[in-house]
Homo-oligomer: A and B are copies of this chain.
Amino acid sequence: MLKIFQQVGRDLFTAGLNNSHSGNLSARLGDRLVITRRGSMLAHLEEEDLIETGLEKDDVNTPLASTEIGVHRAIYLKTPALAVVHAHPPHAVALSLLGDEIVPVDAEGLYLLPRVPVLSPRQAIASKELEETLPEVLREYRAAVVRGHGSFAAGRTLEEAYKWTASLQHSCRILCIARSLGRGPGSSK
């Protein structure tokens, strides 16, 4: 399991979807979850950066987990997801400032993520409100963006959740380039 966490973490950094300390990854194991350590660098994950704790019950490891653990847990408890990727893809974050959804213009985006909802909780980071609203959205959509904050994607595997995240940023980058060239549509009102 360490290998895929390392690979996804490294690739998210290389592709610019996270900076040094942003983002977090998790996978569900029955009534347990493995999540990246609070303050870890996704590009350099080591064994001790993977924190295993309860899906519902806190234990001695829980305080070591990412500050976003509440949102990860809520997603597992309310959706069939087995893995979650939270990242800060810059073009997706920028587009999230402009509307309530992101609609790709490229074929891959339209196929994989035909519509990406933008959520606007009062508090963006480690939000209790998101623990309520995000799982609802991720039952219907593969990925969502928290306005001005970052993306959450849920999948059956970490690789799959990473795929939705990477595809989201790629579509958003194409959208931003197309807009800068004077092509208007793509991100909704």
- Which residues of A come within 8 Å of B, CB atoms? 7, 11, 13-16, 19-22, 41, 43-44, 88, 90-91, 93-95, 97-98, 105-108, 110-111, 124-125, 146, 148-150, 159, 162-163, 165-167, 169-170, 173-174, 176-181, 183
A19 touches B167 (CB 8 A): yes
- Closest chain-B Cβ to A156's Cβ sits at a distance in Å of 12
Report if A125-B148 is in contact (Cβ < 8 Å); known contacts: A91-B177, A176-B181, A178-B94.
no
A11 touches B7 (CB 8 A): no
Closest chain B residue, CB of each to CB of A176: B177
Return chain B residues, CB-CB under 8 Å to A95. Answer: 181
Return chain B residues, CB-CB under 8 Å to A170. Answer: 19, 22, 88, 90
B107 touches A19 (CB 8 A): no
Given contacts A13-B14, A107-B149, 13 further A-B contacts (CB under 8 A): A11-B43, A15-B16, A20-B166, A21-B167, A22-B108, A90-B174, A91-B177, A98-B183, A105-B148, A111-B125, A176-B180, A179-B180, A179-B181
Bound form: Cα–Cα A156–B149 in Å? 26
A167 touches B20 (CB 8 A): yes
Report if A97-B148 is in contact (Cβ < 8 Å); known contacts: A15-B16, A125-B107.
no
